[in-house]
Amino acid sequence: MKETTVLVTGSCGLIGSQVAVYFARHGYSVWGLDSNHRAEFFGPEGDTSWMLEHLRREIPDYRHDALDIRDRERLLRRIEEMRPDVIIHAAAQPSHDRAASIPFLDFEVNALGTLHLLEAARRFCPESPFIHMSTNKVYGDKPNSIRLRELETRWEYDDPAYEHGIAETFSVDQSTHSLFGASKLAADVLVQEYGRYFNMPTCCLRGGCLTGPNHSGVELHGFLSYLLKCNIEEREYRVFGYKGKQVRDNIHSVDVAQFILHFARAPRVAEVYNLGGGKSNSCSILEAFRKAETITGRTMKWRYIEDHRIGDHICYYSDLRKMRAHYPAWTITRPLDAIFEEIATNWIGRLAPKG
C-alpha cells in the first residue's frame, strides 16, 4: 500500500519543523525541503541546521533535500518524482524589515518560489491539498485605520465591529505593506487563483505571531522568541515606536500544525484563514516584558526608539470565528502564559554552557 506523503517546505523553520513532527506522529511519511536561507537572511543566529538534526532524531524515516524553491527545473522534477499527498508551504523570507535590503531575493523566494510550487502541484498532484503559510502583513497597515483607544499597557480597538479582531474580509488595498508584505500578498493571491482557476484544494493561512520553542528568534523575526532570549541573556531589546503598547496575537506552532492537519483531511478550494491566537492570546510588548520578568526573575533591559517600523501594525489580533465555523474540532490548546513558560525553558536549556 502506498504510504501517505507530506512535503514540507521550510522544514527547519518554526512552522515547518513543527508540522513535520506533527504529521509524522499522525502516520505521514515526511519529505522536507529547506536550503537554510535563514542563515543568509539573519546571519549565524538564524541558522537552522540544529533543527535538521532534531528532525532526523524525531522522525526516523525523515527525508531531507536542501533544494532551493527558486530552482524551478529541479523543483519540478522533485515534485514529479514524489507526487506528495499533501503540500505544506512554509518556506519564506520572513522579515518585514530585512526585505527592503534584499528586494530581489525576498520576491524570488516568497512570490516566485510559491509560483514554482503551485505549478508543480498543478502538473503532478492537483488533487493534493496545498497549504500556504501567508501572513497578516498582506493587510498592510490598513488595520491602523481602525479607531483605537490607549490603555495603560496597550492599544485596543475602539470600534465594536472589531470586537473579535480582524476577519478575512478586511481590505488588502490602499495601504503600506512593506516589500515583505507585498511579496507575500503576491504569493497569497497566486495560491487563491490556482485554487479557483484550476479547482485545486488550496488555502492561505494569514498568520499573526507564530511562535514556539522551535523558533530561531532574531531581532528582525520572531517576536516572543527573541524577546525571551534577550531577557535570559540580559541583552538589550529595542522597542520601535507606539510606546511599546503595540499588540499582537500569538499562536503556538502546535496549534498551527493542528489546524493544517484538519484542513488536509477535509480540504476546501481557495480558502483564506486568519490564523492567530485571537484576543485571548494577545499581548503588547510592555505586557510581554512583564510576563518574561515574572517567569525568569530577570529584569528586562530595553531601549525605546521613537520611529516605528514602516507598515507596522499598532494593534492586530485575528478573528478566529471563520476557522472555528469551518473546522469546529480545532481550538487553541496553548494559552499565552504556557507559551511564555515553554519558550523560556527552551532558551534556558539551549543557552546553558555545554560540558
* Secondary structure class of 284 (helix, strand, coil): strand
Residue 14 is placed in which grid cell?
A: 518554526
Q: The domain spanning residue 70 has which CATH number?
A: 3.40.50.720
pLDDT, one tens digit per residue, over 79-117 is 999 999 999 999 999 887 888 999 999 999 999 999 999
- Mean of the per-residue pLDDT values of the chain: 94
Beta bridge partners of 275: 207
Angle at 285 between CA 282 and CA 287, to 5 degrees: 70
pLDDT, one tens digit per residue, over 116-152 is 999 999 999 999 999 999 999 999 999 999 999 999 9
Range of the domain at 128: 5-351
* Secondary structure class of 131 (helix, strand, coil): strand
pLDDT, one tens digit per residue, over 224-270 is 999 999 999 999 999 999 999 999 999 999 999 999 999 999 999 99
**Total domains, the chain:** 1
pLDDT, one tens digit per residue, over 182-198 is 999 999 999 999 999 99
How many Å apart are CA 144 and CA 312, to the nearest integer? 9
The pLDDT, as a whole number, for residue 1 is: 43
How does 308-327 read in b/e, with b if 16+ C-beta sit within 10 Å? bbebbbbbbbbbbebbeebb
Q: Is 31 exposed, middle or buried (0-12, 13-18, 19+ CB in 10 A)?
A: buried
Q: Please compute Rg for the chain using Cα positions.
A: 19
What is the rounded average pLDDT of the residues 259-283?
A: 98
The pLDDT, as a whole number, for residue 44 is: 66
Which residue type does 305 have?
I
Phi, psi of 156 (to 5 degrees): -140, 150
Are the C-beta atoms of 351 and 232 separated by less than 8 Å? yes
Q: Indicate the helix (H) or strand (E) that contains 218.
A: none
